[in-house]
Structure 1
Amino acid sequence: MSKIDRRALIAVAGLALAAPELGHAQESGKPQDAAAPKPEAKGVTHTLARYVVNARFEDLPETVRREATRTFLNWVGVAIGGSHHETLDVAVSALAPFSGPPQAGLFGRTERFDIMNAAFLNGVSSHIFDYDDTHLKTVIHPAGPVASAILAYAEMHPVSGRDFLNALVLGIETECRIGNAVYPNHYDIGWHITGTAGVFGAAAAAGKLMGLTEQQMVFALGLAASQPVGLRESFGSMNKSFNPGRAAANGLFAAILAAKGFTSSDGMIEAKRGWANTVSTKQDYREITEGLGTRYESLLNTYKPFACGIVMHPAIDAAIQLRDEQHLKPDQIARVDLKVHPLVLELTGKTAPQFGLEGKFSIFHAVAVALVEGAAGEKQFSDRAVRDPVVVALREKVVPVVTPGIAAAQVDMTVTLKDGRTLHRRIEHAIGSVERPMTDAALERKFTDLADGVLPEAQARRVMALCWSLETLGDAADVTRAGVAQA
């Protein structure tokens, strides 16, 4: 099979970062009439299940395997980095008295939990910084639900790196295709699509490693459909990272039950009263069934250079560029005007964040801290940063305005200085996008920064090397064993 170029694939798809227009277009090119009867869909769940069950590692293009490896490396790094956040401390303390046998470890920590709770906790850890991978077409964070589920399972039932990587790709394919079918309407209603679609990815990937039959995989997907988790109202709180963690555990739960013959409907995705029709006013089942094995959503995955909501990245990129080029100081700045897409204020419109997690959803804070500190890593979205008097003063000068013609991947920034000069920067594609991807070296620097203070440098480098060599590992769980803290 020939290699697939990520940029060419995006050009064909006509993608723009998280743009609502993507999902509203119908085959006729006209908006869907909500009152018109919808043709009954059949066989969607079975078609997807059949593909997952039969898909072989040998059939994966090299480009897909490579991107999945980068996805895994990035996910392990953010899971290690988030492992000692207050959110994890609270969750570990709350769940420890109820955990079953110590079957699986947690990145960056010494505790061991049963695989269901380990999947949940690693999923929370990997998302708490909002620094994980992003499928820009749907704003799904693909790795959290899938990798958390199957790595926990792999500690109890050893699997090769090849089988693990294949399951990871299939899980990502499953969740993103299902997400494509209902985005953006599903997201607009208020669902957190990483949780609601992620549970399908976790179930499919875990079911693949368990060797489920097609009918069992249909049941696993059906049980996943019965467990949608995550609302956008949770953004800015610990609850947001709960969603991918719970999706991981729920998907693993679904696969385990299905493996023992626990039944579900055969059409839980597409049936009249199934998942897609219940949680969304848009259903495009072609996104799920067409191009299986030839069109890979993994190639559309991206990695964040900034630890916050993806729609703020263009503005942060512009702010850092202007700061560094002009050697700007906060006391020089009179006003910062931004022309932005509606999603920016809808998702990141918090004007006065009080905590670091809230800062991740404040365009005002993100621009101000980028101009003050020249960075937007985890330290810039800490409680310290959002309360810094210099940052607070500058964020009051940030004026974002929703502007027609500005795509979600773009920003138009004008910085007015107190001496009357104006500085301008327009970003078409921020660093970290598919058009300007993070290099392998940049991903390694991100990993190292996240592991700093959590694992010794030599240990972090060992984990990183295992991630890069995932495809050749005899036991994929070697990554977890290398990444836990030493007692």
Structure 2
Amino acid sequence: MTTINRRGLLKVGAIASVAAATPGLSLSAMAQGEKMKTAESAPSSPPEPVTRILAHYLVNARYEDLPANVRKEGTRTLLNWVGVAVGGSHHETVARALSALKPFSGPPQAGLLGRSDRLDIMNAAFLNGVASHIFDFDDTHLKTIIHPAGPVVSAILALSEYHPVSGKDFLNALVLGVETECRIGNAVYPNHYDVGWHITGTAGVFGAAAAAGKILGLSEQQMVWALGLAASQPVGLRESFGSMNKSFNPGRAASNGLFAALLASKDYTSSDGMIEAKRGWANTISTKQDYREITEGLGQRYESALNTYKPFACGIVIHPALDAAIQLRNQYALTDDQISRVDLKVHPLVIELTGKKTPKIGLEGKFSIYHSVAVALIEGAAGERQYSDRAVNDPKVIALRERVTATIDPAIKPEQVDITITLKDGRVLHKFIEHAIGSLEVPMSDQQLEAKFTDLAKGILPDAQVRRLIETCWSVENLGSAADIAKAAVV
């Protein structure tokens, strides 16, 4: 058995009790990836025992050590995730998956949010993860474009219905899971993402394993094995974007991570260096490995405090254009028949990720800058209803999107957009967005998160139940049983 060296012990032995998250980070961190595409980073030589250093931290990290701002962001992460999971619970993607899996499910151990169905915890974790991502309305760690809550909360909420855990311990596990997946994501982004991996699935499995392992009370060695078993289960390719398969990825990451932690709890072994070894996870699936992102500042800087929440139900790179379009629409009371053309100047990533010009189904619309701007100008919103099959096939939307152009401008950062709307009466309207709503610089308020939650849950849960569920999420730290969240979210 490998033992942690003195350097590793000094690095993680003491956990800071008070720490502030790094301020000022934004989607511009994504731009750094553009500079790194042509330069491959060599692995640390020799790498530290990264897997064990991380496991040591996870096993010893206490709820009491979390700074107040980290606890608050963890609670906001929970609230947002529950809202999007309930909102997506009756999408046809969930219905089809449930129909396929329910005949083979084990005992009814955990509920599906927004539904009356109960499945075994593995299938419940998967399906809640699918539901939470199907609208592309979930949270985003902007430095890596990971959607952190899907893999982590889907796993531990299902587990909490089978293995009792207090609200405080649940929140601690949530934060540690998000911390784990985002740090591991930082170590390989953007090279890993650029080659085609869906990083929410590939890094998310580590977050689910870490969080579930924390709740299960794994020893340090067992946590090493859990992380190793997670490393053996990378899931998700970017080719799946625009299909039901995309939401499969965080769902499967949740169930795979839970699977890994449960096996490790019974001493099912793995290599002790599965993250950093020569033929381990990082070296196998990425040409960049920066292990310092995983091990440095554990308990002192929190990636989990940098989480953001979407006001729009689509890829984050479209948000600046949506923000600008809706602001101009509202300011000038625009209607589609007034608009002659819409010209966008965007970062190259916008076209790469969302360049579909003629989406045919709602899921494809989420990856079309053209549809997104057109529907936002017509309907003044970009929620799940604007990414339905109805919306992408609306003749008015189709007609306007054909008048939308997007041009790459190297001077535009990923979090920016420059929009010009030319009206048929000759007027020219212009808007430049530096930071869109939902960014770290312009975050959604608690009240806006509640409004988003309420809108998503409307028609699925009674209004009074929605209000109780919101209050239950806000009070997670005071819950005697975290399973109360799941109970409050089912019909």
Q: Which residue of 1 aligns with 2:311?
A: 305
Partner of 2:114: helix, strand, or coil?
coil
Any residues of structure 2 matched to 1:351-366 within 5 Å, and which?
A: 351-366=357-372
Q: Distance in 1 between matches of 2:262 and 2:31?
A: 36
Q: How does 1:53-452 map to 2 (within 5 A)?
A: 53-452=59-458
Could you report, residue by residue, the CA deviation over 1:67-116 in whole angstroms, capped at 9, with x for unpaired residues? 10000000000000000000010011000110000000000111100000
Whole-angstrom distance in 2 between the partners of 1:207 and 1:23: 35
Q: Distance in 2 between matches of 1:40 and 1:332?
A: 63
Partner of 1:21: 32
State the distance in 2 between where 1:101 and 1:38 align.
46
Is 1:10 matched with 2:23?
A: yes
The separation in 2 between residues aligned to 1:164 and 1:427, in whole angstroms, is: 38
**Amino acid across the alignment from 2:68:** E
Amino acid at match of 1:10: P
Q: Is the 8 Å Cα contact of residues 103 and 115 (structure 1) preserved in structure 2?
A: yes
- 8 Å CA contact 2:43–2:288 kept in 1: the answer is no
2:216–2:265 contact (8 Å) kept in structure 1:
yes
Query: How far did 1:42 drift?
Result: 2.6
Contact 1:40 1:272 in 2 (8 A): no
Q: What residue identity is the alignment partner of 1:434?
A: L
Q: Tell me the distance in 1 between the aligned counterparts of 2:187 and 2:97.
A: 33
Q: Where does 1:438-477 land on structure 2 (aligned, <5 Å)?
A: 438-477=444-483
**2:343 aligned partner, one-letter code:** D
Alpha-carbon distance, 1:17 to partner: 4.0
Give 1:405 deviation, angstroms.
1.2
Q: Which amino acid aligns with 1:232?
A: R
Runs of 4+ in 1 over 6 A off after TM superposition: none
Q: 2:243 corresponds to which letter in structure 1? A: S
SS at match of 2:301: coil
C-alpha spacing 1:285/1:38, structure 2 compared with 1 (3 Å):
closer
TM-score normalised by L of structure 2:
0.95
Structure 1: tracts of 5 or more residues without a match: none
Q: Structure 2: how far apart are the matches of 1:3 and 1:42? A: 26
Q: Distance in 2 between matches of 1:189 and 1:367?
A: 28
Q: Match of 1:39, SS?
A: coil
Contact in 1 for aligned 2:129/2:250 (Cα 8 Å): yes
**For structure 2, which runs of at least 5 residues remain unmatched after alignment?**
1-15
Q: Is the 8 A contact 1:160 1:475 kept in 2?
A: yes
Instruction: Return the alpha-carbon distance in structure 1 between the equivalents of residues 40 and 178 of structure 2.
Output: 31
- In the aligned structure 2, how far is the partner of 1:299 from the partner of 1:401? 34
Alignment RMSD, CA only?
Answer: 1.5
- SS of 1:414's partner is strand
Shift of 1:39: 1.9
SS at structure 2 position matched to 1:10 = coil
SS for the counterpart of 1:156 is coil
Q: Equivalents in 2 of 1:240, 1:481: separation in Å?
A: 27
User: 2:270, 2:100 → 1: CA distance?
Assistant: 32
Q: Is contact 1:3-1:63 (8 Å) kept?
A: no
The one-letter amino acid paired with 2:174 is L
Distance apart, 1:18 and its partner CA: 5.6
| In 1, Cα distance between equivalents of 2:306 and 2:43 | 33
* Letter of the 1:339 counterpart: K
- Secondary structure of the residue aligned to 1:323 is helix
Contact kept in structure 2, 1:340 and 1:412, CA below 8 Å: yes
Partner of 2:10: none
Q: C-alpha offsets along residues 307-350 of structure 1, whole Å, 9 cap, x if unaligned?
A: 11110000000000001101111111111111101110111111
1:413 Cα deviation after fit = 0.3
Deviation, structure 1 residue 22: 4.4
Rate the CA distance shift 1:33–1:320 in 2: closer, same or farther, 3 A.
closer
CA 33–89 in structure 1, closer or farther in 2 if over 3 Å, else same: closer
Q: How many equivalent residue pairs?
A: 476
Shift of 1:25: 5.6
What TM-score do you get using the length of structure 1 for normalisation? 0.96
Alpha-carbon distance between aligned partners in 1 of 2:142 and 2:360, rounded to the nearest angstrom:
28
Contact 1:175 1:199 (8 Å CA) reproduced: yes
State the distance in 2 between where 1:187 and 1:452 align. 35
* 8 Å contact kept, 1:88–1:121: yes
Structure 1 residue 474: Cα displacement: 0.1
When residues 128 and 356 of structure 1 are mapped into structure 2, their CA distance, relative to the original with a 3 A threshold, is: same
Matched-pair contact (CA < 8 Å) for 1:42–1:271 = no
Deviation at 1:40, TM superposition (A): 2.6
- Deviations for 1:114-172, whole angstroms, at most 9, x for unmatched residues? 00000000000000000000000100000000000001000001100000000000000
Deviation at 1:21, TM superposition (A): 1.5
- Give 1:33 shift: 5.2
Conserved in 2, the CA contact under 8 Å of 1:20 and 1:184? no
1:41 corresponds to: 47
Q: CA deviation at 1:10?
A: 3.4
**Post-superposition CA distance 1:197-253 (Å, at most 9, x none):** 000000000000011011100000000000000000001110000000000000000
Tell me the distance in 2 between the aligned counterparts of 1:15 and 1:190: 23
- Aligned partner of 1:479 in structure 2 is 485
